[in-house]
Amino acid sequence: MNLYFGSDHGGYKMKGALVDYLKEAGHEVVDLGVFTDGSVDYPDIAREVCEKVIENPGAFGFLVCGTGIGMQMSANKFKGIRSTVATDEHMAEMSRKHNNANVLTLGGRTTDLEKAKAIVDKFLATDFEASEERHVRRVEKIEGPLGG
Ligand code: RB5
């Protein structure tokens, strides 16, 4: 499974800690940066990660900014991306089960690191309920009139 991580300056510490955590757990992780607290624009990082997720079916993206909000807004502009911000495990679980989320965003300044690890673990451990026709139908409708 391909896991792509990215952050802005508000999330790079949490992003680095999560990358280390998942690597230690045996996951293959691609860290697309940033690696310092120098100011960057979060939509640029969201684009890099989302393009990887779109190019690699089945991949997941993880984006960390100060709150997770800007990354979430940016990621959902990309066709084929279903991004959720999550502040607890239940949100992460439901985003996978019902919404087939393929990108998770987190707040490096608003969520405790241990909570973030638990959120990521829950996201990765939960499958989309693809046997439930209503969920498949609703997720297809997310693409909307502009997505086609
Ligand atoms: C950067 O200061 C901050 O605005 C950004 O990390 C993020 O929280 C935006 O949603």
Cβ–ligand 1 contact at 10 (below 6 Å): yes
Is residue 1 situated within a structural domain?
A: no
Is residue 50 situated within a structural domain?
A: no
Is residue 91 situated within a structural domain?
A: yes
Residue whose CA lies nearest to ligand 1 atom number 4: 66
Is residue 148 situated within a structural domain?
A: no
pTM of the model: 0.96
Beta pairing partners, 103: 61, 83
Confidence of residue 148 (pLDDT cuts 50, 70, 90): very low
Q: What is the domain count for the chain?
A: 1
Nearest CA-CA partner of 97 in 143, 62, 132: 132
Query: Helix crossing, 113-125 with 12-24: angle to 10°?
Result: 50
Kindly list the catalytic residues. 65, 98
Identify the domain containing residue 100 by its residue range. 6-42+55-143
Cα–Cα distances in Å, from 148 out to 6, 73, 75, 99, 132? 28, 20, 18, 18, 22
Mean pLDDT value across the chain: 96
pLDDT at 1: 73
pLDDT at 137: 96
Is residue 76 situated within a structural domain?
A: yes
CA angle 6, 121, 19 (to 5 degrees): 35
Is residue 125 situated within a structural domain?
A: yes
Query: In ligand 1, which atom is closest to the CA atom of 11?
Result: 6
Query: In ligand 1, which atom is closest to the CA atom of 69?
Result: 10
Does pLDDT of 99 surpass 60? Answer: yes
What per-residue string of b and e applies to 29-57 under the rule 16 or more CB within 10 Å gives b? bebbbbeeeeebebbebbbebbebbeeee
The CATH number covering residue 111 comes to 3.40.1400.10
